[in-house]
């Protein structure tokens, strides 16, 4: 080792700051991020050639420092390493905390799809998808699907912009109105449709009085718990149910190929909206951060209570910054969620093809729907205080992972769609692929520490697994079974 101790210390310091910068630095598309990480490592290795392996973990650095006799190992790096390790551990725990709700949501959708015919029969379509893919030719179907998904996407983008404008102008009442309207539609109208079909499928007798009573109770409690205060578990349950309901609406009312095209397009849009410097979601998040505001509770699933607290109670003046920052981030997601929710409500209205008066009303809601389409941008974020070591007491409470409801919806759409063909291998493959994608996203989150789009990795994996299983694995397995070959 030719380096003197002081040099190594300096290097460590720069390394440290570089890492910190990394968190703050502007978001870029995943590939670029990966490249950047690689580059960072390279440069580090260049700087620290004498150290041999270029591990950036503090342990390695401190060890190197220790070798230089003159200086005692700087205290910071080990602490830093511990923090990072802690964060990763926290991340791991939260990954599992997110697995449960995502799995539950998918389970609801898959169970519904496989037991209730209504949701896999194609008869009515959303107004956003004017091309119904009725031609027998694949080429026509493909361009139909692409056109449909582009229409949907442009609606989403438009609504996003509208939302940003509203948010920038501080029209919170309008935004909240949208959210409440869309959750009302989901909780009453779509739940009504769901209950009707479920009862019909299971042949359970029901009278109107009981039905109205149950719906009123279910919806009323949902509105209270989502938009006001309520037990966290109940709120999570309602959010999961809402997401599942929305996913079912998409599965039911989007034409076959369009569904797949929409999934692909939406995940790309998610990537762009969250990570580009001028991406709409990014602007939203930044605005929210500037204003230090809590998120709209209706739009985000959070694994811990803190979010609720942050949202419901104005931050005390003396409170540390870390806390204030978090709520802001959620905001960005929240808007996305809202849009989704709006979308859901709007989409459902169109899809259901109700009478003219209803449709006229629905037109207003369409905008909402569009908004909701934005949800795809929901970002998963691990909330952390910037300087966890400084406020350990607060840390525990504040850490948590938030996942936009839109993520839930599109994950479930993919798995539900896969299950609608009745092949359990494909369904399981998609399910596993999405969970792996979620893991990777959360890992990236722990590394990059900023809002990330949760759709791209998961949906890409899901699509690959779906088509691979359906076109390659299944025929192969069938052939093996037919020939009685056991591997």
Partner 1 sequence: MDLTRLPNDKKLQLCRWYFKVGCLLLPFVWAVNAVWFFKEAFMKPPYDEQKQIKKYVVMSATGAAVWVAALAVWVTVFQLQRVAWGPTGDSLSFIVPLGRA
234 part of the interface to partner 1, by CB under 8 A: yes
Does residue number 115 form part of the binding site for partner 1 (CB under 8 A)?
no
- Residues near 275 by beta carbon (within 8 Å), at least 6 away in sequence: 27, 28, 29, 30, 282, 452, 453
Site for partner 1 in 13-42 (CB under 8 A): none
Q: Is 213 in the site for partner 1 (CB under 8 A)?
A: yes
- Is 314 a binding residue for partner 1 by CB under 8 A? The answer is no
Q: Among residues 24, 69, 204, 485, which is the contact residue for partner 1, using CB under 8 A?
A: 204
Shortest Cβ 267–partner 1 spacing (Å): 33
Residue 308 in the binding site for partner 1 (CB under 8 A) = yes
Nearer to partner 1 (CB atom), residue 158 or residue 308: 308
Number of neighbours of residue 442 by Cβ within 10 angstroms: 25
Interface with partner 1, residue 205, by CB under 8 A: yes
Cα 168 to Cα 317: distance, rounded to the nearest angstrom:
24
What is the maximum alpha-carbon separation in the chain?
A: 86
Site for partner 1 contains 319 (CB under 8 A):
no
Binding mask 420-439 vs partner 1 (x if CB under 8 A, - otherwise)?
--------------------
Residue from 107, 166, 199, 443 in contact with partner 1 (CB under 8 A): 199
Q: What amino acid positions are annotated as catalytic residues?
A: 270, 407
Q: Using the minimum distance from each CB to partner 1, give the nearer residue, 236 or 289.
A: 236
> Which residues in 235-254 contact partner 1 (CB under 8 A)?
235
Instruction: Please say which residue, 83 or 199, places its beta carbon nearer to partner 1.
Output: 199
C-alpha to C-alpha distances, 459 to 102, 157, 167, 352, 465, nearest whole angstrom: 14, 19, 29, 27, 10
Distance from C-alpha of 191 to C-alpha of 416, rounded to nearest angstrom: 18
User: Which one of residues 42, 93, 229, 321 is an interface residue with partner 1 (CB under 8 A)?
Assistant: 229
Size of site (CB under 8 A) for partner 1: 30
Q: Is 316 in the site for partner 1 (CB under 8 A)?
A: no
Cα(108)–Cα(244) distance, rounded to whole angstroms?
Answer: 7
How far, in Å, CA of 391 to CA of 385, rounded? 8
Mask for 276-305, x = binds partner 1 (CB under 8 A): -----------------------------x
| Min dist. Cβ of residue 186 to partner 1 (A) | 17
Report the distance separating Cα 365 and Cα 381, nearest Å: 29
Q: How far apart are CA 116 and CA 97, in angstroms?
A: 29
Which of 13, 234 has the CB closer to partner 1?
234
Residues 6+ positions from 482 with CB-CB distance below 8 Å? none
Q: Calculate the alpha carbon distances from 28 to 281, 320, 378 in Å.
A: 13, 29, 16
User: Contact between 208 and partner 1 (CB under 8 A)?
Assistant: yes
Question: Residue 94 CB: number of other CB atoms within 10 A?
Answer: 23
DSSP string over 218-266: HHHHHHHHHHS---HHHHHHHHHHHHHHHHHHHHHHS-HHHHHHHHHHH
Binding flag, residue 218, partner 1 (CB under 8 A): yes
The 159-198 contact track toward partner 1, x by CB under 8 A, reads -------------------------------------x--
Task: Considering the complex, state which of residue 157 and residue 305 has its C-beta at the smaller distance from partner 1.
Answer: 305
- Tell whether the torsion through CA atoms of 18, 22, 26 and 29 is positive or negative: positive
Binding site for partner 1 (CB under 8 A): 196, 199-200, 203-211, 213, 216-218, 220-221, 224-225, 229-232, 234-235, 305, 308-309, 312
């Amino acid at each position: 080792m030719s380096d003197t101790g002081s040099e190594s210390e300096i290097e460590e310091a720069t390394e440290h700051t570089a890492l910190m910068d990394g968190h703050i630095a502007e978001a870029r598309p995943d590939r670029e991020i990966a490249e950047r990480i690689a580059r960072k490592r390279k440069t580090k290795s260049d700087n620290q050639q004498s150290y041999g392996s270029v591990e950036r973990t503090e342990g390695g650095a401190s060890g190197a420092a220790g070798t230089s006799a003159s200086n005692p190992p700087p205290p910071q790096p080990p602490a830093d390493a511990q923090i990072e390790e802690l964060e990763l551990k926290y991340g791991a725990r939260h990954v599992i905390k997110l697995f449960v709700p995502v799995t539950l949501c998918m389970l609801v959708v898959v169970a519904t799809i496989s037991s209730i015919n209504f949701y896999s029969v194609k008869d009515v379509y959303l107004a956003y998808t004017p091309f119904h893919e009725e031609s027998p030719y694949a080429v026509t179907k493909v361009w139909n699907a692409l056109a449909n998904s582009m229409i949907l996407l442009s609606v989403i983008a438009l609504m996003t912009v509208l939302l940003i404008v509203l948010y920038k102008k501080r029209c919170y009442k309008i935004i909240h109105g949208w959210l409440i309207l869309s959750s009302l539609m989901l909780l009453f109208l779509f739940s009504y449709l769901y209950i009707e079909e479920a009862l019909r499928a299971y042949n359970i007798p029901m009278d109107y009085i009981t039905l109205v009573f149950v719906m009123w109770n279910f919806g009323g409690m949902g509105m209270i718990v989502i938009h006001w205060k309520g037990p966290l578990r109940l709120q999570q349950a309602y959010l999961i149910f809402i997401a599942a309901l929305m996913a079912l609406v998409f599965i039911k009312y989007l034409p076959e190929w369009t569904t797949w095209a929409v999934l692909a397009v939406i995940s790309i849009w998610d990537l762009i909206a969250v990570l580009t410097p001028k991406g709409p979601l990014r602007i939203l998040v930044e605005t929210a951060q500037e204003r230090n505001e809590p998120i709209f509770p209706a739009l985000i699933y959070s694994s811990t209570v803190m979010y609720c607290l942050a949202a419901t109670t104005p931050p005390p003046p003396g409170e540390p910054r870390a806390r204030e920052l978090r709520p802001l981030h959620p905001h960005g997601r929240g808007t996305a969620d809202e849009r989704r929710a709006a979308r859901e409500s709007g989409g459902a209205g169109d899809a259901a093809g109700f009478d003219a008066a209803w449709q006229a009303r629905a037109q207003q809601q369409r905008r909402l729907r569009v908004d909701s389409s934005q949800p795809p941008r929901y970002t998963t974020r691990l909330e952390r205080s910037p300087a966890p070591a400084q406020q350990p007491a607060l840390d525990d409470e504040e850490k948590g992972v938030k996942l936009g409801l839109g993520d839930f919806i599109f994950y479930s759409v993919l798995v539900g769609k896969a299950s609608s063909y009745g092949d359990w291998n494909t369904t399981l493959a998609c399910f596993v692929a999405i969970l792996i994608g979620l893991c990777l996203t959360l890992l990236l989150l722990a590394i990059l520490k900023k809002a990330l789009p949760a759709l791209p990795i998961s949906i890409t994996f899901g699509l690959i697994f779906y088509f691979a299983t359906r076109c390659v694995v299944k025929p192969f397995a069938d052939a093996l079974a037919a020939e009685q070959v056991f591997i």
